[in-house]
């Protein structure tokens, strides 16, 4: 608490305003023409985490604040609800069996690879490394929102988060670069396994009817979405505190996340899903990035010094993920397009999967986005299984 008192900014609302301004600045810079190409491959979310980490290291923001606890308790649940209620499950299911199978195979690779990698490197890592690995499993099964959700569930410390953010950036986006570089091999791969290349065209035909209509958000829409989302977040938190804890993973926080995710998915079958045409997911991501900035501000930059071993462990983890994907691809004769997009739908999520899909087939970026949504839906549930296995290995 001494370091918190020594910080330049200590008032919670001033701190919230400062972090919100940082997030706004990062996204403003990301849209400038001279930086657009750079941010296409290094997304703003990385800087949303690391810049507040630097401000805390410099003594501007505190390492501890009541604001951070409030963010984790409510902004996370609000973000998850808005993202889930806007999911178009019908479109995801129209992806077809091969696309969905490859997303699932990629998820299995992450769930299996994490515990195996931790088992190999356990003696060279801190005792709480399993919690960092658990958070990383969330990121590598769907994206940032899942990472934050799992980190909240297993109570990952700020020090444990620092190295895994480095791994997520270096290994995750390094693997994205490898996938892009392999685009020239797809003809050889597809011929070698007699791939069902017609599956790509079939999947594209299934998605022709998807509506992407969006309307400008009105004051009424914004007030209703924020009110509903916050009410659901508070209700989920209250219910989570009432429900009994089951073991080490199913705590009050776990119940709250499961309730808001499952409830959001159920409500996505109702007219509430039309909130997405008004920008529901954008509100969700806004809350998520404000939360992530607070997580970054809690981290100690010195924890990143542990990254070399983490990087090696992350590389082994990705290698296991890839091996399982390739075996699955041979079983169903999946084109390399589905291998690459299925992998990035897990590792990179909605920010990266459309980029990789578009590199392999220019018109197929929407397929990459929906495959990422499929991975995102699996994310919280599958990453909880991975977290349970990681606790067994690292406990």
144 vs 29, 45, 211, 302, 333, CA distance in Å? 20, 8, 26, 22, 31
The residue among 317, 363, 315, 368 whose CA lies nearest residue 339 is 368
Per-position pLDDT tens, the chain of length 395: 444 457 889 899 999 999 999 999 999 998 898 888 888 767 787 788 888 888 988 889 988 888 888 887 788 889 888 888 877 777 676 777 888 898 899 999 999 999 999 999 998 888 888 999 999 998 898 777 788 888 888 888 877 888 888 888 788 878 887 888 887 788 888 888 887 777 666 666 655 554 455 667 788 888 999 999 999 999 988 988 888 876 555 667 778 888 888 888 888 888 888 888 888 888 888 888 888 888 778 766 665 665 788 899 999 999 999 999 999 999 988 888 888 888 988 887 766 777 787 777 766 666 776 777 777 777 778 888 898 999 998 76
Second CATH level (architecture) for the domain 2-208+217-394: Up-down Bundle (1.20)
Give domain limits for the chain: 2-208+217-394
Is residue 140 within 8 Å of 347, Cβ to Cβ?
A: yes
Cα(126)–Cα(169) distance, integer angstroms = 20
Q: How many other C-beta atoms are found inside a 10 Å radius of the C-beta of residue 6?
A: 11
Identify the three-state secondary structure at position 249: coil
Identify the three-state secondary structure at position 116: helix
256 vs 9, 83, 125, 201, 253, CA distance in Å? 31, 15, 30, 40, 5
Buried (b) or exposed (e) across 194-214, using 16+ Cβ within 10 A?
Answer: ebebebbeebeebbeeeeeee
Q: What is the pTM of this model?
A: 0.75
């Amino acid at each position: 608490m001494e370091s918190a008192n020594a910080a330049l900014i200590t008032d919670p609302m001033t701190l919230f305003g400062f972090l919100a301004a940082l997030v706004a600045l990062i996204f403003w810079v990301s849209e400038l023409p001279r930086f657009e190409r750079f941010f296409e491959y290094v997304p703003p979310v990385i800087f949303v985490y690391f810049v507040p980490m630097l401000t805390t290291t410099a003594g501007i923001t505190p390492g501890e604040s009541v604001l951070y606890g409030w963010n984790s308790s409510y902004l996370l649940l609000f973000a998850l609800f808005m993202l889930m209620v806007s999911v178009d499950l019908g479109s995801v299911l129209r992806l077809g069996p091969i696309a969905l199978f490859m997303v699932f195979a990629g998820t299995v690779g992450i769930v299996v690879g994490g515990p195996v990698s931790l088992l190999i490197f356990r003696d060279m890592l801190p005792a709480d490394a399993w919690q960092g690995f658990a958070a990383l499993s969330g990121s590598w099964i769907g994206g940032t929102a899942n990472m934050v959700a799992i980190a909240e569930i297993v109570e990952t410390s700020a020090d444990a988060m620092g190295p895994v953010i480095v791994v997520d950036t270096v290994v995750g986006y390094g693997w994205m670069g490898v996938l892009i570089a392999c685009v020239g091999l797809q003809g050889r791969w597809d011929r070698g396994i007699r791939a069902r290349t017609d599956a790509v065209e079939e999947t594209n035909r299934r998605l022709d009817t998807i509506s992407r209509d969006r309307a400008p958000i009105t004051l009424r829409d914004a007030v209703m979405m924020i009110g509903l989302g916050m009410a659901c977040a508070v209700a989920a938190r209250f219910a989570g505190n009432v429900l009994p804890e089951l073991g080490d993973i199913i705590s009050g926080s776990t119940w709250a996340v499961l309730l808001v995710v499952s409830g959001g998915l159920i409500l996505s079958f109702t007219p509430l899903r039309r909130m997405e045409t008004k920008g529901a997911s954008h509100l969700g991501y806004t809350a998520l990035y404000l939360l992530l900035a607070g997580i970054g501000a809690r981290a100690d930059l010195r924890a990143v010094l542990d990254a070399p071993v983490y990087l090696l462990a992350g590389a082994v983890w990705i290698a296991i993920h890839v091996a399982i994907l390739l075996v699955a691809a041979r079983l169903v004769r999946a084109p390399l397009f589905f291998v690459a997009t299925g992998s990035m739908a897990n590792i990179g999520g909605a920010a990266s999967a459309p980029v990789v899909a578009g590199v392999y087939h220019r018109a197929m970026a929407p397929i990459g986005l929906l495959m990422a949504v499929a991975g995102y839906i699996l994310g919280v549930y599958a990453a909880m299984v991975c977290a349970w296995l990681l606790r067994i290995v690292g406990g």
